[in-house]
Structure 1
């Protein structure tokens, strides 16, 4: 019954004037606020500022050296009083220090659910592709392409298909796209394309049951190395239960998805179906631990590392504590896991930055104004020894009235737009604004209201 109620709400919340807004400009950066509506003693399973949600939508921002701009997508809305999802794109001009009015790539037409948020790709010719997430078989996903290179003014629909949690990557061979389909449960797929218009058949990556006849399900995060290797870390959902998500796996491909291997180059047969396989990185089921994958990257040698939160269960509050921010990496010979710090919610989300020996995690690890809720105060954690040990370099925000959440890392990030996020009340419907910042501790707020086509962001720190 709960599922039916949630679907009804998501499909019927609208905005006041009924106008279809795709390919129009919005007068400012207005973030979406959302709650799942699964209540527990210490609040909703997750709710709050979810403009840059989910962790399984990647990438959300890309810096382009060709035009010296950072392009970024997010889930927007029509006003501070409404929950009406608009799939948005904006741009920050590093030369002028200004942001454009954002463009509505796709008006979700009554959906208020940021599971439908977009992700981003820029092809070799400068065309901007926005992948709009659907939601299982209930709502389709879309691929949109800009009508002009490096322009966010207008987008054309290229495909309509079943596609959730899009993760598109540009490689030397073409487009590589990780995504999820609800084939009974949440299962992982990929597809490839040379031109973005014609795509291969969907190919399943993993289907790991505990026992024969049981369902399986997975969530993943992915990335590329030198535009050639693609890799993905994923967890598993015992018997399809997302509230029991556990274990950590890793697989990779160096030939555009033709063959897949373990980290030690052992060739694999897809989909992965074996529980105790060569690709399992950590056995968390043995200790009854949940894990929530957040981000991944590669070091200069092409060794992968994954950021995730490890906890004792899915319910918010002290029952599931500690909420440990973990980094698991391949050091060339074995997998090693370190704990960065702790926070107070499974859906706290940050990003992992890898720069040779210097690694950083940026996220809402500090206690925020709404206890046991999504987000908090932001901090930067650093490691000078490739993720073996961590120290807090600086606290980015403090004394905030609203919680900061879902800190995202642009591809090829360039200061001052090193990471971006939004804020909002973790437990009650509120206005949500968007921000970006750099590793020096400076923070800018994107203008919520814009009367001009371009404005300078507001420096708040």
Structure 2
């Protein structure tokens, strides 16, 4: 176990992640009070570690060597009610989805054998972006991923130990090449999701959509029934259009979704005025309608494009995420005088107006892709982000840094 250096706030000197496989970090209080976090290093090794909130110390563990040198292969985490930790991971469009579960609760040194998800849809796109969500009232674990058909898919398990999974099903099947999607849950009976038509590099205009799952059916934000899950997949025309990219003649990309204290959805996303003018937006259901406001400008893309090279990922904003325990708070990475910095923004009027406070200042390298630990209950949550050189999703030399946010 290592003591953290408060001056550097560095959790690992070699770590990265994409922003569509979540949760990347979870808090669990049992025998210990710890935050668990997973990442991928610069040669494609899968890692997990914990921060002990009592001891102020951390420890890291290698899960799999050289899965893939591609930050899309970052892992996601699930912790069951008894404290057993499961880590899910796959290569970018990988042929297999893997997972491992600890034999002992809260013990990262006790991971069992590597298992494989026995379900996927037809097609040659494999697996990407695992997102596990447990619903306690159903006593079932849902695993979402982008599947063989390049669409959002899911399978359900009632027994991880024996790798019992339902056949893969497609959540959304539409004309867009591949909807990008984010999920959130109350952990009991509801799963919210928000998605795009496809990738902004490909779609002429990307919109933002929303629906939710509850008790075997899919609903709009106003509670109106769309269809039973037995009638899946969905088409995008059936669900809420939160931002209309075609009418606005703009492209958008989803970043995060959460549930507020009333169970209403809150969504954050980027809208691109141009490739060099990204804006962060906030849409919140107020019980009657979607209310949308701009939070702040975000700058341009953050990858460090080599001179004379055409940037292939101009829609890679620095990043924005919600505080899932209080979605009136967001954490952003935005360009400040040429360098991307991490900031905390908050609203006291449901997103109409915003105030900000810096987390990082005067940085010499970019600070990007923040993620706030989910499930924190002891008055503090670890905010993680990437720091360093990032040329491409297969060429990065970044660390994972952190800051303790008081709740």
Q: TM-score, normalised by structure 1?
A: 0.73
Cα distance in 2, alignment partners of residues 264 and 299 from structure 1: 15
Cα distance in 1, alignment partners of residues 202 and 105 from structure 2: 40
How many residues get paired? Answer: 362
1:272 counterpart residue number:
234
Question: Once superposed, what is the RMSD of the aligned Cα atoms?
Answer: 2.4
Q: 2:284 aligns with which of 329, 338, 349?
A: 329
How is 1:364-375 mapped onto 2 (pairs within 5 angstroms)? Answer: 364-367=333-336, 369-370=338-339
Gaps of 5+ in 1: 1-27, 33-50, 77-82, 210-214, 313-318, 371-375, 442-461
Q: Shift of the alpha carbon at 1:366?
A: 3.8
Task: Spell out, residue by residue over 1:426-455, the C-alpha distance to the aligned partner (whole angstroms, 9 max, x if none).
Answer: 4496742221113469xxxxxxxxxxxxxx
SS in 1 for 2:114: strand
2:81 counterpart residue number:
124
Larger proportion of strand: 2
2:55 counterpart residue number:
96
SS in 2 for 1:411: coil
Q: 2:323 aligns with which of 337, 353, 356?
A: 353
Indicate whether 1:254 and 2:214 are aligned.
yes
SS in 1 for 2:398: coil
Distance 1:363 1:294, change over 3 A: same
Distance 1:118 1:134, change over 3 A: same
Task: Spell out, residue by residue over 1:32-61, the C-alpha distance to the aligned partner (whole angstroms, 9 max, x if none).
Answer: 4xxxxxxxxxxxxxxxxxx1x222111011
Conserved? CA contact 2:280–2:320, under 8 Å: no
Task: Spell out, residue by residue over 1:83-113, the C-alpha distance to the aligned partner (whole angstroms, 9 max, x if none).
Answer: 411111000001101111x11111235x211
Task: Spell out, residue by residue over 1:381-433, the C-alpha distance to the aligned partner (whole angstroms, 9 max, x if none).
Answer: 111122232111x1111221110111002111355543111201244967422
2:14 counterpart residue number:
31
Indicate whether 1:232 and 2:193 are aligned.
yes
Cα distance in 2, alignment partners of residues 329 and 365 from structure 1: 22
Conserved? CA contact 1:420–1:435, under 8 Å: yes
Conserved? CA contact 1:350–1:362, under 8 Å: yes
1:410 counterpart residue number:
373
Task: Spell out, residue by residue over 1:261-301, the C-alpha distance to the aligned partner (whole angstroms, 9 max, x if none).
Answer: 222231324212253x3422221122221112111111011
How is 1:1-40 mapped onto 2 (pairs within 5 angstroms)? Answer: 29-32=12-15
How is 1:202-213 mapped onto 2 (pairs within 5 angstroms)? Answer: 202-209=168-175
Conserved? CA contact 2:91–2:127, under 8 Å: yes
1:170 counterpart residue number:
134
1:149 counterpart residue number:
105
Distance 1:164 1:253, change over 3 A: same
How is 1:419-458 mapped onto 2 (pairs within 5 angstroms)? Answer: 419-427=383-391, 431-439=397-405
Distance 1:306 1:133, change over 3 A: farther
Conserved? CA contact 1:179–1:189, under 8 Å: yes
Distance 1:440 1:199, change over 3 A: closer
Distance 1:199 1:311, change over 3 A: same
Conserved? CA contact 1:368–1:377, under 8 Å: no
Conserved? CA contact 2:35–2:53, under 8 Å: yes
Which 10-residue stretch deviates more, 163-172 or 277-286?
A: 277-286
SS in 2 for 1:88: strand
SS in 1 for 2:323: strand
Cα distance in 1, alignment partners of residues 204 and 404 from structure 2: 35
SS in 2 for 1:96: coil
Conserved? CA contact 1:353–1:361, under 8 Å: yes
Task: Spell out, residue by residue over 1:310-351, the C-alpha distance to the aligned partner (whole angstroms, 9 max, x if none).
Answer: 104xxxxxx424311011111111111111101122321121
Conserved? CA contact 2:49–2:58, under 8 Å: yes
Cα distance in 2, alignment partners of residues 293 and 203 from structure 1: 22
Conserved? CA contact 2:381–2:406, under 8 Å: no
Conserved? CA contact 2:117–2:165, under 8 Å: no
Conserved? CA contact 2:209–2:236, under 8 Å: no
SS in 2 for 1:194: strand
Cα distance in 2, alignment partners of residues 107 and 354 from structure 1: 32
Q: 1:398 aligns with which of 337, 341, 361?
A: 361
Q: 2:24 aligns with which of 52, 60, 69?
A: 60
Cα distance in 2, alignment partners of residues 134 and 149 from structure 1: 27
